[in-house]
Structure 1
Amino acid sequence: MTIKIPYFLLFFILMFSSCAVNKTEDVSYLNKKAAKSFKEEPKMNIFSPKKGTSKKLPVLIFVHGGNWNSGKKELYSFFGNNFAKKGIVTVVVGYTLSPEASYKEMAIEIAQAIKWTKSNISDYKGDPEKIFLTGHSAGGHLVALAALDGQYGIQEKDISGIILNDAAGLDMHHYLENNPPTTTDNYLTTWTNDPLQWKDASPINYLSESTPPMLIYVGDKTYESIKVGNKRFLEKLKAFQPKVEVKYINKKHIPMMTQYFWSWNNRYKEIINFINNNS
């Protein structure tokens, strides 16, 4: 049975959820030297519970998807609001898209967002010792790459866990070998035509014993390339995390993200359990 909620009721649901949350918009996270090189500096939004607490709260950093060339942080306030009202300080990161940036420049930005959060999130009720990362689609690729590849300067021990939501690009080398990049979707700009760059861009190549705990979601109806990439990633990850939790959800790629619009969706409970178990 499908339950349809009237638009006016939905409006009040959203208003109620946002009223319980402090939203700090357009926070700069790049260091000053890096910020000067951008026409439009990427920024982040921070969501924290209004209710006072003396206890520092877990932190969830979210990176949106969009095929590395589309999307914006402003579309995901529902995600920040819903987690914040459940006691999780949530950081929604904006980043420079292709063709203005390559995958490596995007990963550098995400790494800087993580570092900024580590240094400053206590000002927003967050616990810098309980930082979790999550991303959908291209965002899943970027959080995994920034956290796992040491060249981006993130200490894996500083990340309490990573939640991948129908992540794309986990083995970009394998994908591009079979589907060489062209100007379509700005892929030639994003990835170059250098196979060595494709290897460097693939989070699968940085899995190790020190990889933070992972929770992985894959849509049963998602794109075949995402199914293949996740399967290859999981096969390698299980050598280091044999009990890694993988959840297959009966959804297509976009609904894997839009399901979070509803604050009672089971994903919230599952992710918060994962956060609590790894804090």
Structure 2
Amino acid sequence: MTFSRLFWQVPTALGTCVILLFLVLLVNECAVARPSKRTKDIAYRETGSPGFSAERHVLDVYAPTKKRAGGYPVVLFIHGGNWDSGSKNIYWFIGRRLAKQGVVAVIINYRLAPNVLVPAMADDCADAVLWTTRHIAEYGGDPNRIFTMGHSAGGGLAALMATKDELFTGLGLTRNPVKGAILDDPAGLDMYDYLQKMEYPNDQQYLVPFGKDPTVWRSVSPMYFVGKDSPPMLLYTGGKTYPSISISGGVFDRKLTGLGIKHTYIVMAGKKHVPMVTQLFWANNLIYRDLLKFVGAK
């Protein structure tokens, strides 16, 4: 069905409003795209290496077109999707919004269940961070200012990147390169506790990505790796999100506070889980406003 035939079936007044909205969004996207450049489907793991996936071991870079001395801060975004779905291609708008506001954005894919367990997903994310440290200067980013960001399952992985130093020492780095994390309604902050309790309907589904070994659950739970030397964080949960996310977010906040980790914790009134990320379509958003200050964008 063509675009024109689609709107021919909509009542005239409503059709006119929908067309106008479409045109406004199209003009807005053109305006956002002009100050930035997207480089798609860059492999962050060596092609042909064991386990390499041409679909999942890739990332997109969104960079301001104007160069800056010293480079721009970098935000590496990890998508959600229940650890078994999702794609970087959905989140182009985050890349565009950040690049327009003086941030180099790296939006990544990683392998998913049931093909791998969460520890392998964490290894993929760490490999993407490693690639970023080595190559982001080529795209105008500052390799010394890399921050992780994620929503839902991606939020838990973003927190793990910031707190589990072993992920990077195992790759040959002497220190964790992540300077901070932005966690948007993060899931999986404490799967060790969650999977022992099994309090909610359908919790058995999480044994697919996490397996049945409690030591594995703990190994990918940021709650057990955050320490006094962990970097600062921004933590947001929706006022109407899933109870498990709300509860673990509050516990994580209290642990950060107890350890003296600089952070901000905000419960966004009335927000459900999915709108916590779709709100990032709009540039003048609380999370973006906080993020730009947090990463030192100018």
TM-score normalised by the chain length of structure 2:
0.85
Q: Is 1:272–2:287 an aligned residue pair?
A: no
Greater Cα shift, 14-23 or 149-158: 149-158
Partner Cα separation in structure 1 for residue 134 and residue 241 of structure 2: 36
Q: Is 1:88–2:107 an aligned residue pair?
A: no
Q: Give, as a single letter, the amino acid of the residue that structure 2 aligns with 1:228.
A: I
Q: Is 1:150–2:169 an aligned residue pair?
A: no
Residue from 158, 175, 182 that aligns with 1:163: 182
1:221-262, Cα deviation, whole Å (9 max, x unpaired): 100010111112122121223652111112111111000101
Show the counterpart of 2:9: none
Residue from 251, 260, 264 that aligns with 2:280: 260
Show the counterpart of 2:83: 68
Q: In the alignment, is the contact (CA less than 8 A) between 2:150 and 2:184 conserved in 1? A: yes
Q: Give, as a single letter, the amino acid of the residue that structure 2 aligns with 1:272.
A: L
Measured after TM superposition, the shift of residue 39 of structure 1 is 6.8
Bigger Rg, which one: 2
SS of corresponding position for 1:160: strand
Residue from 33, 40, 62 that aligns with 1:18: 33
Partner Cα separation in structure 1 for residue 193 and residue 275 of structure 2: 26
Measured after TM superposition, the shift of residue 142 of structure 1 is 1.0
Measured after TM superposition, the shift of residue 146 of structure 1 is 3.0
Show the counterpart of 1:127: 142
| RMSD value, Cα | 2.4
Measured after TM superposition, the shift of residue 38 of structure 1 is 3.6
Q: Give, as a single letter, the amino acid of the residue that structure 1 aligns with 2:241.
A: T
Q: Go from structure 1 to structure 2 and tell me whether the alpha carbon gap of 1:71 and 1:11 turns closer, same or farther (over 3 Å shift).
A: same
Q: Which runs of 5+ in 2 are unaligned?
A: 1-17
Q: In the alignment, is the contact (CA less than 8 A) between 1:57 and 1:89 conserved in 2? A: yes
Greater Cα shift, 47-56 or 111-120: 47-56
1:12-51, Cα deviation, whole Å (9 max, x unpaired): 1012101221000000001356455447442000000112
The alignment covers a number of residue pairs equal to: 275
Q: Once superposed, which parts of structure 1, at least 4 consecutive aligned residues long, lie more than 3 Å away? A: 31-41, 154-157, 180-186
Partner Cα separation in structure 1 for residue 276 and residue 185 of structure 2: 7
1:83-138, Cα deviation, whole Å (9 max, x unpaired): 00101000001111111111001000000000000011000000001111110010
Q: In the alignment, is the contact (CA less than 8 A) between 2:231 and 2:261 conserved in 1? A: no
Q: Is 1:234–2:253 an aligned residue pair?
A: yes
Q: Go from structure 1 to structure 2 and tell me whether the alpha carbon gap of 1:92 and 1:171 turns closer, same or farther (over 3 Å shift).
A: same
Q: Which runs of 5+ in 1 are unaligned?
A: none
Measured after TM superposition, the shift of residue 158 of structure 1 is 2.1
Q: Go from structure 1 to structure 2 and tell me whether the alpha carbon gap of 1:120 and 1:181 turns closer, same or farther (over 3 Å shift).
A: farther
Greater Cα shift, 35-44 or 143-152: 35-44
Q: Go from structure 1 to structure 2 and tell me whether the alpha carbon gap of 1:102 and 1:242 turns closer, same or farther (over 3 Å shift).
A: closer
Q: Give, as a single letter, the amino acid of the residue that structure 2 aligns with 1:268.
A: Y
